[in-house]
Amino acid sequence: MKPFLERFCPAAAAGRPAVMGIVNATPDSFSDGGAHATPEAAVAWARGLVAAGADLLDVGAESTRPGYSPVPADEEERRLVPVVAALRAALPGVPISADTRKASVARVALDAGADIVNDVSSLEDPDMAALVRERGAGLVLMNGWPEHNGAPRDAAPGGLADWVLRGLRAARARALAAGVAEEALCLDPGFGFGLRGADNAEVLRGLAGIVAGCAPCPVLVGPSRKHFLAAQYPEARGDRDRATALFCAEAVAAGARILRVHAVP
């Protein structure tokens, strides 16, 4: 099996960071409020992302913003599958990631043409690893999901980068123990998940160490339009896309290989 970047982001494998464009199939997205939830709107939005330079697309049908309401699997499938199928038909050469925590939803998304599962819960569903292994799909694992949902964080400011790295290594170990190939894996520090305000800037300062500690798995960052950016980049004057671009520039300098964004920087 080729490594993650070579399979899904060949430009990044050649040296430049890859851009993962976000396509929301949710009616309650904090970013677009459901503007791209229909297959037709999603395809139009995705075409624009690809034209602007996106290398792959990430499609989600359950918002995970603070205070989110969980979506039942059947409803998530109803939202997600038509969008994934439409994107696969319209953009056959563009890798698609299905952003879901549920193995049943991931299964039908892969059936519809997705190539990657972006699991923010890092295998909370006990059936997810086996599905990814059997399908030979890519898998993104993120740190900070339990803490995002109220679990105590086992770290204080000053030690947050180490906490993130421990969490990502543990997630990788779970995947490898379940038979997922290391080449299939990409790791996400989880900016905005279990991290509040200046916590995110601290982790960004330690990102080079996180990247080194996650090798050979590439690191993906997903800061796009998140609330903490306003205080971190006052020079952006409230423009969250500009603040996102500033964050991404720092992340790339620290070794991040994939940037998950709403607007291509």
Q: How confident is the model at residue 28 (pLDDT cuts 50, 70, 90)?
A: low
Instruction: Look at residue 205 and tell me whether its pLDDT is greater than 60.
Output: yes
The domain total for the chain is 1
CATH of the domain at 90: 3.20.20.20
pLDDT for the residue numbered 70: 85
Instruction: Look at residue 265 and tell me whether its pLDDT is greater than 90.
Output: no
Identified catalytic residue from 79, 101, 225, 226: 226
Q: How far apart are CA 36 and CA 58, in angstroms?
A: 13
pLDDT for the residue numbered 68: 76
Q: How far apart are CA 42 and CA 85, in angstroms?
A: 11
Identified catalytic residue from 7, 79, 240, 260: 260
| Domain enclosing residue 45, as ranges | 4-261
The encoded tokens of residue 73 equal 């699997």
Check: CB of residue 45 under 8 Å from CB of residue 23.
Answer: yes
Which one-letter amino acid corresponds to residue 113? G
2 catalytically annotated: no
pLDDT digits (tens, 9 = 90+) for 34-85: 567 799 999 999 999 999 999 999 999 998 877 777 899 999 999 999 999 9
Percent of the chain whose predicted confidence (pLDDT) is above 90: 88
Q: How far apart are CA 98 and CA 112, in angstroms?
A: 10
Residue 73, phi then psi, degrees to nearest 5:
-60, -40
Instruction: Look at residue 32 and tell me whether its pLDDT is greater than 90.
Output: no
- What's the rounded mean pLDDT across residues 3-29? 87
pLDDT digits (tens, 9 = 90+) for 122-155: 999 999 999 999 999 999 999 999 999 889 999 9
Mean pLDDT of the chain: 94
88 catalytically annotated: no
